[in-house]
C-alpha cells in the first residue's frame, strides 16, 4: 500500500476588527509504504556524483571513504533501479557504465560498478554545474517516477562561473531531486544549499570522512522508500485575498512562494517533490479582506495533490472578534516557526557579515541567532553557533565573535542553518 496522507492545521483564527493577516501551520504526515516491498514504492533512478578532484587525496581518507560510500549506495539500490556513477572534476566523466547511459541494478551490474569505483583516483578541479548537467542528461533518458542524485564535493566550485552554475541549476529544476554533501574543510555551504534548494533535496557537511558510508546509505534508502511522486501543495484563496508567503518550515526552511504554478487565478501549486513515510510542516500566510465582527470566512484551502488526485485537504479560517483576549492570543506553532525562519536568516546574514569584516553586524545577527536557538530549544544549532561566537548570555543574545574560527565550523553552521526543530514539549510540573 502506498503512503496515506493526513493533515492538521494549527492557527489562531480570531482577528481583531479590521484585521487582515491570517497565519497557519499545516502539518502533513504520510504513513504506510514499505521500502522492502517493491509494490509499495515508485520506480526509481539514481546518479551518484563523486568529487574526484585532486584535493580529495588530501588527506587520502576522503577519496577512500568516498569509494566505500559509493559502494554502499550501490548495494542499497533495489533490483531494477537504473543507476550510474559519475566522477566530478573540472568536467564530468562516466565511471559506470563506461558509456553515457544508466543500467538497471542487479548482482552483476552492482559488482561491475563497485569494481569501477574502486579504481577511482583523485586528480583535477571542481565544476559542480557540469556534474549536474551530465546527471540531467542521464535522467532525461529514464521514465522513472523518482529521479535522485547524490552529490559529494570537498571543495569550492572554482572551475565554472556563477552564471554557468546557475544556468545548469535552472535547467535541472523540476527534473530530479539532489541531496548535496560536503566533506573535508574547503566546501562552501551556500553552494550546497543552492543545489539542495533548487532541486528539492537536502544539504549537509560531514566533519569526518568516515561518516560518508552511513550518509550515502541513508540518502539512498530515503530515495528508494518514496511511494508518491511529484506532490504539489495546492492553495486556494478567496477573491480579493493575497498570499503573503508559503514556506516549508520543517524539517528545514524552504520558501516556496516564488515557485507557485498557477492553476487558476485563485489556485496555485507549490512543488514538494516525492514523499515516503515522513512528516513536514508548512507555514501559510494570507491577507484577506476584512469582514464584520462575528463573521467567519474561509481564508484558504490547503491540499496535497499528485497526478490529479487529492491526497489530503484542510481549511484555514478567519473569524473577526472584538474580544482582544482572543485576537491577541499568539499561536505557539506560528510563533515558533516564525522564529525558526528568522534563525536561519540571521545565521546566514551574520556569517556573511563576518566574512566581510563587518564585526558589528555579525555580532548583532549571530547574537540574535543564539537567542532564538536558546528560546526554541534548537540544541544542535546552539552548539554550532558556539563554534563561531563566545556566548556571554544566551537568553539576551549577548555574544563576542571568536578571533580564530576553523573555516569548516562556519560552513557547518551555515549549511545547517535551515534545519528546524518542532515546538518543545512542555515538561509536566513536579508536584
DSSP label of 423: P
Cis peptide bond prior to 59, omega within 30° of 0? yes
Tens digit of pLDDT for each residue in 99-133?
A: 999 999 999 999 999 999 999 999 999 999 999 99
Tens digit of pLDDT for each residue in 357-374?
A: 999 999 999 999 999 999
Q: Which helix (H) or strand (E) holds 16?
A: strand 14-16
Tens digit of pLDDT for each residue in 12-44?
A: 999 999 999 999 999 999 997 554 455 567 899
Nearest to 417 by CA among 393, 386, 384, 387: 384
Q: Does the pTM of the predicted model rise above 0.85? A: yes
The pLDDT mean for the chain works out to 95
253 pLDDT higher than 70: yes
428 pLDDT higher than 60: no
1 pLDDT higher than 70: no
> Which pLDDT belongs to residue 2?
65
Neighbours of 36 (CB within 10 A): 9
Rounded to an integer, what distance in angstroms lies between the CA atom of residue 302 and that of residue 9? 9
For the chain, which domains are there? 4-32+229-243+258-324 (2.60.40.3670), 44-224 (3.40.50.410), 333-415 (1.20.120.1690)
**Mean pLDDT throughout 411-429?**
81
Nearest to 77 by CA among 116, 112, 46, 120: 46
pLDDT classification of 264: cutoffs 50, 70, 90: very high
> Which pLDDT belongs to residue 33?
57
> Which pLDDT belongs to residue 230?
94
Burial class (CB in 10 A: 0-12, 13-18, 19+), 292: exposed
Amino acid at each position: 500500500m502506498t503512503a496515506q496522507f493526513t493533515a492538521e492545521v494549527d492557527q489562531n483564527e480570531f482577528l481583531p476588527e479590521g484585521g487582515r493577516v491570517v497565519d497557519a501551520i499545516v502539518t502533513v504526515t504520510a504513513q504506510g509504504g514499505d521500502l522492502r516491498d517493491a509494490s509499495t514504492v515508485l520506480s526509481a533512478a539514481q546518479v551518484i556524483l563523486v568529487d574526484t578532484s585532486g584535493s580529495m587525496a588530501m588527506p587520502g581518507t576522503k577519496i577512500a571513504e568516498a569509494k566505500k560510500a559509493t559502494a554502499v549506495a550501490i548495494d542499497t539500490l533495489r533490483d531494477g533501479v537504473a543507476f550510474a556513477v559519475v566522477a566530478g572534476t573540472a568536467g564530468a566523466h562516466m565511471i559506470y557504465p563506461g558509456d553515457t547511459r544508466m543500467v538497471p541494478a542487479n548482482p552483476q551490474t552492482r559488482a561491475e560498478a563497485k569494481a569501477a569505483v574502486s579504481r577511482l583516483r583523485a586528480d583535477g578541479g571542481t565544476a559542480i554545474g557540469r556534474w549536474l548537467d551530465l546527471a540531467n542528461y542521464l535522467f532525461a533518458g529514464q521514465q522513472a517516477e523518482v529521479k535522485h542524485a547524490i552529490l559529494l564535493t570537498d571543495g569550492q566550485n572554482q572551475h565554472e562561473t556563477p552564471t554557468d552554475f546557475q544556468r545548469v541549476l535552472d535547467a535541472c529544476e523540476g527534473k530530479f531531486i539532489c541531496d548535496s554533501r560536503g566533506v573535508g574543510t574547503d566546501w562552501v555551504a551556500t553552494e550546497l544549499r543552492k543545489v539542495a534548494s533548487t532541486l528539492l533535496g537536502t544539504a549537509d557537511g560531514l566533519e569526518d570522512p568516515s561518516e560518508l558510508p552511513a550518509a550515502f546509505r541513508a540518502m539512498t534508502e530515503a530515495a528508494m522508500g518514496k511511494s508518491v511522486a511529484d506532490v504539489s501543495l495546492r492553495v486556494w484563496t478567496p477573491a480579493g485575498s493575497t498570499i503573503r508567503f508559503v514556506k516549508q518550515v520543517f524539517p528545514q526552511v524552504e520558501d516556496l512562494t516564488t515557485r507557485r504554478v498557477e492553476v487558476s487565478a485563485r489556485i496555485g501549486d507549490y512543488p514538494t517533490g516525492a514523499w515516503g513515510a515522513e512528516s513536514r510542516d508548512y507555514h501559510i500566510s494570507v491577507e484577506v479582506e476584512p469582514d464584520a465582527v462575528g463573521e467567519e470566512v474561509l481564508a484558504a484551502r490547503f491540499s496535497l495533490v499528485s497526478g490529479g488526485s487529492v491526497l489530503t485537504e484542510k481549511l484555514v479560517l478567519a473569524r473577526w472578534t472584538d474580544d482582544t483576549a482572543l485576537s491577541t492570543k499568539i499561536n505557539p506553532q506560528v510563533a515558533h516557526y516564525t522564529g525558526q525562519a528568522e534563525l536561519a536568516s540571521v545565521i546566514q546574514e551574520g556569517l556573511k557579515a563576518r566574512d566581510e569584516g563587518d564585526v558589528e553586524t555579525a555580532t548583532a545577527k549571530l547574537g540574535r541567532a543564539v537567542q532564538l536557538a536558546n528560546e526554541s530549544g534548537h540544541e544542535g544549532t546552539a552548539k554550532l553557533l558556539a563554534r563561531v561566537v563566545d556566548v556571554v548570555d544566551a537568553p539576551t543574545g549577548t555574544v563576542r565573535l571568536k578571533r580564530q574560527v576553523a573555516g569548516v565550523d562556519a560552513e557547518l553552521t551555515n549549511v545547517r542553518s535551515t534545519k528546524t526543530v518542532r515546538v518543545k514539549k512542555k515538561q509536566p510540573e513536579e508536584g
